[in-house]
Amino acid sequence: MEAEEERFPRLRQVLLFVLLAHSCAEQEVYRIAEETESGSFVANLAKDIGLGVKELSWRRARIIFNDDKKHFQLNLQTGDLQINEKLDREELCGSTEPCVLQFQVLLEEPLEVYRYKLLVSDINDNSPVFPESEMILKIMENTLPGTVFPLKNAQDLDVGINNIQNYTIYPNSHFHVLTRNSGEGRKYPELVLDKALDREEQPELRLTLLAVDGGVPPKTGTALVLIDVLDINDNAPEFVQPLYRAQILENSPLGSLIVTVSARDLDTGTNGKVFYSFFYGDEEISRTFALNELTGEIKIIRELDFEKIMSYELDIKASDGAGLSGKCTVIIEVVDINDNTPELTMASLISSIPENSPETTIALFSIQDRDSGENGRMFCSIQEDVPFTLKPSLENFYKLVTEGALDRESQAEYNITITVSDLGTPRLQTQHTITVTVSDVNDNAPAFSQTTYTLRVRENNSPALHIGTVSATDRDAGANAQVTYSLLPPRDPQLPLASLVSINADNGQLFALRSLDYEALQAFEVRVGAADRGSPALSSQALVRVLVLDDNDNAPFVLYPLQNGSAPCTELVPRAAEAGYLVTKVVAVDGDSGQNAWLSFQLLKATEPGLFGVWAHNGEVRTARLLSERDAVRHRLLVLVKDNGEPPLSASVTLHVLLVDGFSQPYLPLPDVAAAEARADPLTVYLVIALASVSSLFLCSALAFVAVRLCRRSGAASGGGCAVPEGHFPGHLVDVSGAGTLSQSYQYEVYREESGTKEFKFLKSVAFT
């Protein structure tokens, strides 16, 4: 403080403000740049005032500011005026230029005041600043070049040259900036359009506005200028592709999406909103396809048929809200699918052919398929188990022909299924069945069920008796199969066929015309013919063998002894005959055969029962015991001969037996025949007796011989035993069947000799082998 008072001796004395006003006589101006470091030297006051350094402190020099701020201090040792703190011109003066700080230097004793001015000069310490960092401008895209748009200016706290000098903009593709001066020297920017804008190309521009001040180096400030280019309808809708091609299967369901057309409009809003429509009002197209006016989708709304229309060409218009439009073409190809079955058209057809016809065309037909490609290629077939073949004829024509002659009798009707299929996927096929009937030709003769028929007829039949039926069948049909029967001329011309049998021409029934007699005709053969009514007729024949069956219609007939005899036969038996002496043998025949001819003999009545016996099976009459003197001379035996028929028939025979005393005894004629035999020659009688005896002996030996032979033969043939079947041929019977011959291989023949007045009977036996 003391130093200060030394330097400013007068200052203390003139603290009165009154004095101050009077002593401000001279003014010095100092200069200092703002922002100079504190402590920096401004000026040497001591020298400027003209005082010594000591005087300053002695006179107590001090600095007084107008604004009570101590911007400076006075170094009393050196007399230098030094900056107390950094000075900011902008704070001190704002935009006022020049910026002057006024201060006084006060000296006491004597009071002196010196006025000073400090000029604070500007340095470029502030950058231009835009009040808004972002500016938005909306500009119609059709704005003409040269149009000016004012922009907000930036501010720079610096003054003078350090203030904003220039505005620029970048990128400057469409604009440049003009820097304008306002009346107060403020500079503001104006945006000038250089080149027409295109929203579609660049809907928004981002520009940087740069404000440059004039400092060295210059400082800059920036702001963003957003330019919104406003749309005008300056673009027509444009299709992405001028030509669309699409393929669609013809069986695609309704509503299927075929293709989506798309047009772009570079404009926005209603200017860019695209509506699609058909270009021409073609009814066929608008009934087949639906176009979504917003999305551009094309869909089917009616079934497609490749066979009718193979492709469509659609012109489609796209219009925007303001009436501009574009056009494209859509070609829709319908892809064939196999949706048509092949068709068969019969051109000619024969439904019936004769069975023996050679290769014949039955049918001629054509096939077609409305599909295309593989879907329309066809092949044709029939089943394999029929004797027919298909032959390709002209294009798509086929012939169905027989493979050869047919046989109606093995198959009379054919169902031929013609299958036509195409090669598409899936395969479609059509079938056509034709029925061919094979008509009959008379190629089969009637055929008898048997080649030989054996018919049996019991004799004594009633006339016109149905004796059997022959039948023949014919495999043909109709009249060709109608069989008529007839009798053919017999091989044996003697056979009175016409009177024996007849045949029903229609049904083959055979009738015996008259009563047949087994004994007269045991069998005969007839040839029957069967003919059909074809043209020419065919025929065949069969043999009918008719066997007449025996009936027991003949009673046994006694051959020996003769019974109608006017001269009854008398057997002589010597009294000396031993028991079993063969008196005689009753010989009988039966016209029937078989059982009906099996005879048995039976002694029915005798004068003296027990003296004679009859052997049932051979009719031998023998003595049963020794004869005695008491026995009567004459005996009468009644022998019954019976056959084995059903019912049996019989005959009886009466035997006269005369007992004689040796053969020397004279023959005694019976009373009833005495008259006839009276004239008999005794020699003849002896001859007869001798013959009879010899015959009887011979007969016995022959019987024995034959029996031995028979047994040997049948033994050799059958291995033993006698050939007579036990059940069939009872031992007590003798079979004499067959035209009066005796069975068992021997036969009696009766010869009747007549001599003068007498009949002689003798029996001669002939052995058969």
Which tokens hold the place of 699?
A: 């007969």
List 165, 222, 429, 745, residue binding ligand NAG (CB under 6 A): 165
Indicate the residue among 208 and 435 with the shorter CB distance to ligand NAG.
Answer: 435
Indicate the residue among 182 and 564 with the shorter CB distance to ligand NAG.
Answer: 564
Which tokens hold the place of 297?
A: 């989708």
Closest distance of CB 342 from ligand NAG, Å: 22
List 67, 333, 359, 413, residue binding ligand NAG (CB under 6 A): 413
Indicate the residue among 221 and 424 with the shorter CB distance to ligand NAG.
Answer: 221
Cα separations in angstroms, 99 against 70, 92, 164, 250: 17, 7, 19, 94
Closest distance of CB 547 from ligand NAG, Å: 30
Indicate the residue among 564 and 769 with the shorter CB distance to ligand NAG.
Answer: 564
| Positions of E strands within 536-678 | 539-549, 557-560, 570-574, 582-585, 587-589, 598-606, 612-614, 620-623, 634-643, 650-660
List 66, 181, 494, 566, residue binding ligand NAG (CB under 6 A): 566
Q: How many CA atoms lie within 13 A of 566 on its CB side?
A: 7
Given the rule CB under 6 A, which of 163-171, 380-388, 460-468, 495-503 is the region that contacts ligand NAG?
A: 163-171
List 230, 257, 562, 750, residue binding ligand NAG (CB under 6 A): 562
Answer for the pair 261, 328: CB distance below 8 angstroms, yes or no: yes
Cα Dmax for the chain: 260
The 3-class SS string of 437-506 reads: EEECCCCCCCEECCCEEEEEEECCCCCCEEEEECCEECCCCHHHHCEEEEEECCCCCCCCHHHHEEECCC
Indicate the residue among 381 and 435 with the shorter CB distance to ligand NAG.
Answer: 435
Sheet containing strand 99-107, edge to edge, reads 27-33, 112-121, 99-107, 62-65
Q: Is there binding between residue 494 and ligand NAG (CB under 6 A)?
A: no
List 168, 260, 602, 652, residue binding ligand NAG (CB under 6 A): 168
Q: Is there binding between residue 181 and ligand NAG (CB under 6 A)?
A: no
CB atoms within 10 A of CB 627: 19
Q: Is there binding between residue 749 and ligand NAG (CB under 6 A)?
A: no
Indicate the residue among 96 and 755 with the shorter CB distance to ligand NAG.
Answer: 755
Given the rule CB under 6 A, which of 121-129, 497-505, 558-566, 628-636 is the region that contacts ligand NAG?
A: 558-566
Indicate the residue among 363 and 500 with the shorter CB distance to ligand NAG.
Answer: 363
Which secondary-structure segment (H or E) carries 76?
Answer: none
List 66, 499, 564, 628, residue binding ligand NAG (CB under 6 A): 564
Indicate the residue among 412 and 538 with the shorter CB distance to ligand NAG.
Answer: 412
Closest distance of CB 564 from ligand NAG, Å: 4
Indicate the residue among 166 and 747 with the shorter CB distance to ligand NAG.
Answer: 166
C-alpha 373: how far from its chain's center? 24
Radius of gyration of the chain, Cα coordinates, nearest whole angstrom: 85
Closest distance of CB 759 from ligand NAG, Å: 8
Closest distance of CB 440 from ligand NAG, Å: 16
Nearest to 450 by CA among 417, 416, 473: 473
Separation of alpha carbons 107 and 253, rounded Å:
115
Given the rule CB under 6 A, which of 132-140, 164-172, 517-525, 716-724 is the region that contacts ligand NAG?
A: 164-172
Indicate the residue among 446 and 591 with the shorter CB distance to ligand NAG.
Answer: 591
Torsion on CA atoms 480, 484, 485, 491, rounded to nearest 10:
-60
The burial class, CB within 10 Å (0-12 / 13-18 / 19+), for 517 is middle
Indicate the residue among 119 and 350 with the shorter CB distance to ligand NAG.
Answer: 350
Sheet containing strand 501-503, edge to edge, reads 465-469, 509-512, 501-503
Answer for the pair 561, 761: CB distance below 8 angstroms, yes or no: yes
List 36, 40, 73, 166, residue binding ligand NAG (CB under 6 A): 166
> Which residue has tokens 């930036």?
154
For residues 425-454, which are near ligand NAG according to CB under 6 A?
435
Q: Name the DSSP letter for residue 550.
A: P
Which tokens hold the place of 490?
A: 């017999």
Nearest to 17 by CA among 111, 128, 116: 111
- The count of chain residues that interact with ligand NAG, using the rule CB under 6 A, is 9
Find all residues with CB under 8 Å of 499, minimum gap 6, and list them. 513, 514
Sheet containing strand 650-660, edge to edge, reads 570-574, 650-660, 634-643, 598-606, 733-735
Given the rule CB under 6 A, which of 144-152, 237-245, 449-457, 559-567 is the region that contacts ligand NAG?
A: 559-567
Given the rule CB under 6 A, which of 30-38, 50-58, 562-570, 699-707 is the region that contacts ligand NAG?
A: 562-570
Degrees to nearest 5, angle at CA 429 with 428 and 433: 165
Indicate the residue among 385 and 646 with the shorter CB distance to ligand NAG.
Answer: 385
Closest distance of CB 21 from ligand NAG, Å: 47
Closest distance of CB 554 from ligand NAG, Å: 14
Residue whose beta carbon is closest to ligand NAG: 166
Closest distance of CB 167 from ligand NAG, Å: 8
Answer for the pair 76, 54: CB distance below 8 angstroms, yes or no: no
Closest distance of CB 211 from ligand NAG, Å: 10
Closest distance of CB 586 from ligand NAG, Å: 16
List 77, 348, 383, 415, residue binding ligand NAG (CB under 6 A): 415
Say which amino acid occupies 325. Answer: S
Torsion on CA atoms 562, 568, 574, 579, rounded to nearest 10:
50
Q: Is there binding between residue 578 and ligand NAG (CB under 6 A)?
A: no
Which secondary-structure segment (H or E) carries 184?
Answer: none
Nearest to 190 by CA among 153, 136, 137: 153
Given the rule CB under 6 A, which of 161-169, 348-356, 461-469, 546-554 is the region that contacts ligand NAG?
A: 161-169
Indicate the residue among 27 and 435 with the shorter CB distance to ligand NAG.
Answer: 435
Closest distance of CB 566 from ligand NAG, Å: 4
Q: Is there binding between residue 383 and ligand NAG (CB under 6 A)?
A: no
Indicate the residue among 564 and 664 with the shorter CB distance to ligand NAG.
Answer: 564
Which secondary-structure segment (H or E) carries 5?
Answer: helix 2-7
Q: Is there binding between residue 208 and ligand NAG (CB under 6 A)?
A: no
Indicate the residue among 192 and 710 with the shorter CB distance to ligand NAG.
Answer: 192
Residues that bind ligand NAG (CB under 6 A): 165-166, 168, 413, 415, 435, 562, 564, 566
